[in-house]
């Protein structure tokens, strides 16, 4: 099912980092890239200067792309996409890079601070005191990619989708399009639950932003759906994408709820938006079942789909039958449907313009 929505939301106040972070001059000169953990890919480090925690050194993000040997046309394409993962995730989705390459779009992936290749201390996995902190690495990645490609699309999954939506709203005129794969735009639970939870989270955060919350999570259910050792198709690093119970921190959850509240008030994304989610959630099961593989076991898909009109003035909402939380990791039929809808949207809203590559 596809739905086109058009709205004119109020413009929020942009939040920008106080210091400008860029990828090193060496990386810009193509000499600071090193082999990635995935064959045919390479990576470079984005050193970060804001949002550090006490005692933390070497805060960084990591940008990943295909090598020239694996993709000789990489630097000659007009269009590019930057992919942002969800919570407790990292880029291992080589089939997604294959998809974009087949569309004539150069693929980049960003593992943000304290995530995946940029993890550092696992006790601080994915932590951010404000989702706006991620603007620093997104700004740097965008600057690098846009200097090489005239048209840039940003793509985000789950929490990464929420982060990407905020960044896109705060950076008008930069993106050719925004792709959101099951973005975490709304909390599960009864109406009013986030509002009731915020004062407690604020109090806990003031005492210790890393306070661990006893919240339910899908734990091994997720791995059972995705990893090749269970019912899944992918063999990923279980240190970078942990299985079992992964701590949720008070300061981070507060940041998510505040970002969701801002989204609910209306963003002002000026680029066309493609938003996709499954048609069914299955949140409360205690053990793996085949239904998990064909449902979103993390988010309330109806709640997040209802927020689509709040994103911007041109939003295409697609619901994928049997879609998993990460739609790119769904069962084959649902995955095929997702990619077919995304390809259709890209052709309609982000077509090649025939312009020469822009170099800065």
Contact of 148 with 359, CB cutoff 8 Å: yes
Helix (H) or strand (E) holding 62: strand 60-66
Average pLDDT over residues 323-352: 97
pLDDT, residue 347, reads 97
Band of residue 284 on the pLDDT scale cut at 50, 70, 90:
confident
Q: E strands within 151-265?
A: 151-157, 177-181, 212-213, 248-249
Q: What is the mean pLDDT of residues 209-225?
A: 80
Q: Please state, in angstroms and rounded to a whole number, the distance separating the CA atoms of residues 97 and 33.
A: 18
Mean pLDDT of 343-349: 98
pLDDT of residue 357: 40
Question: For helices 135-146 and 159-170, what crossing angle results, to 10°?
Answer: 70
Burial string for 59-87 (b: 16+ CB within 10 Å, else e) reads bbbbbbbbeeebbeebeebbbbbbbbbbb
The model's pLDDT over 129-183, given as tens digits with 9 standing for 90+, comes to 999 999 999 999 999 999 999 999 999 999 999 999 999 999 999 999 999 999 9
pLDDT of residue 220: 81
CA–CA gap between residue 93 and residue 83 (Å, rounded): 10
pLDDT reported for residue 217: 52
Q: What DSSP designation does 2 have?
A: E
Please check the confidence at residue 26 and state whether its pLDDT lies above 80. Answer: no
- Mean pLDDT for 29-38 is 86
Dist CA 116 CA 9 (whole Å): 34
**Confidence class of residue 24 from pLDDT cuts 50, 70 and 90?**
low
Whole-model pTM: value is: 0.90
Q: How confident is the model at residue 216 (pLDDT cuts 50, 70, 90)?
A: low
Q: For residue 171, what pLDDT is reported?
A: 98
User: Which is more confidently placed, 3 or 211?
Assistant: 211
Alpha-carbon distances of 112 from 102, 128, 155, 351, rounded to whole Å: 26, 10, 13, 28
Question: What is the mean predicted confidence (pLDDT) over 260-265?
Answer: 96
What average pLDDT does this structure show over 36-62? 95
pLDDT of residue 1: 47
- Which of 116-125, 144-153, 348-357 is predicted least confidently? 348-357
Torsion on CA atoms 274, 48, 105, 307, rounded to nearest 10: 0
Across the chain, mean pLDDT equals: 90
Taking 50 as the threshold, does the pLDDT of residue 10 lie above it?
Answer: no
- Please give the Cα distance from 51 to 139 (Å, whole number): 15
Render pLDDT for 220-229 as a digit per residue (tens, 0 to 9): 889 999 999 9
Please give the C-alpha separations between residue 337 and each of 81, 272, 297, 321, 323, in angstroms, as whole numbers: 20, 20, 19, 8, 9
Residue 16: pLDDT band (50, 70, 90) is very low
Cα 311 from Cα 273, distance rounded (Å): 8
**What does the pLDDT read at residue 208?**
96
């Amino acid at each position: 099912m596809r739905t086109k929505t058009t709205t004119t939301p109020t413009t929020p106040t942009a939040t920008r980092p106080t210091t400008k972070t860029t990828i090193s001059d060496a990386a810009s000169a193509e000499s600071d890239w090193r082999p990635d953990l995935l064959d045919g890919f390479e990576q470079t480090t984005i050193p970060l200067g804001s949002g550090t925690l006490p005692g933390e050194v070497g805060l960084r993000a990591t940008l990943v792309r295909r090598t020239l040997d694996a993709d000789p046309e990489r630097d000659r394409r007009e269009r590019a996409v930057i992919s942002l993962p969800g919570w407790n995730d990292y880029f291992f989705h080589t089939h997604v890079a294959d998809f974009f390459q087949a569309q004539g779009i150069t693929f980049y992936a960003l593992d943000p601070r304290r995530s995946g290749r940029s993890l550092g201390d696992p006790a601080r996995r994915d932590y951010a005191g404000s989702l706006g902190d991620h603007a620093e690495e997104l700004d740097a990645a965008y600057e690098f990619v846009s200097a090489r490609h005239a048209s840039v699309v940003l793509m985000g999954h789950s929490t990464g989708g929420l982060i990407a939506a905020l960044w896109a709203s705060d950076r008008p005129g930069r993106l050719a399009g925004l792709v959101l794969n099951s973005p975490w735009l709304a909390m599960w639970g009864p109406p009013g639950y986030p509002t009731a939870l915020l004062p407690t989270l604020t109090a806990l955060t003031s005492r210790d932003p890393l306070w661990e919350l006893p919240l339910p999570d899908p734990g091994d259910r997720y791995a059972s759906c995705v990893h090749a050792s269970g019912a899944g198709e992918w063999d990923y690093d279980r240190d970078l994408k942990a299985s079992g119970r992964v701590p949720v921190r008070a300061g981070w959850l507060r940041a998510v709820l505040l970002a969701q509240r801002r989204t609910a008030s209306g963003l002002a994304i000026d680029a066309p938006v493609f938003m996709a989610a499954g048609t069914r959630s299955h949140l409360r099961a205690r053990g793996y079942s085949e239904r998990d593989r064909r449902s979103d076991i993390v988010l309330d898909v109806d709640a997040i789909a209802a927020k689509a009109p709040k994103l911007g003035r041109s939003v295409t909402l697609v619901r994928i039958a049997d879609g998993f939380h990460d739609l790119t990791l769904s069962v084959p039929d649902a995955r095929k449907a997702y990619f077919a809808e995304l390809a259709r949207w890209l052709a309609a809203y982000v077509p090649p313009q025939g312009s020469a590559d822009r170099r800065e």
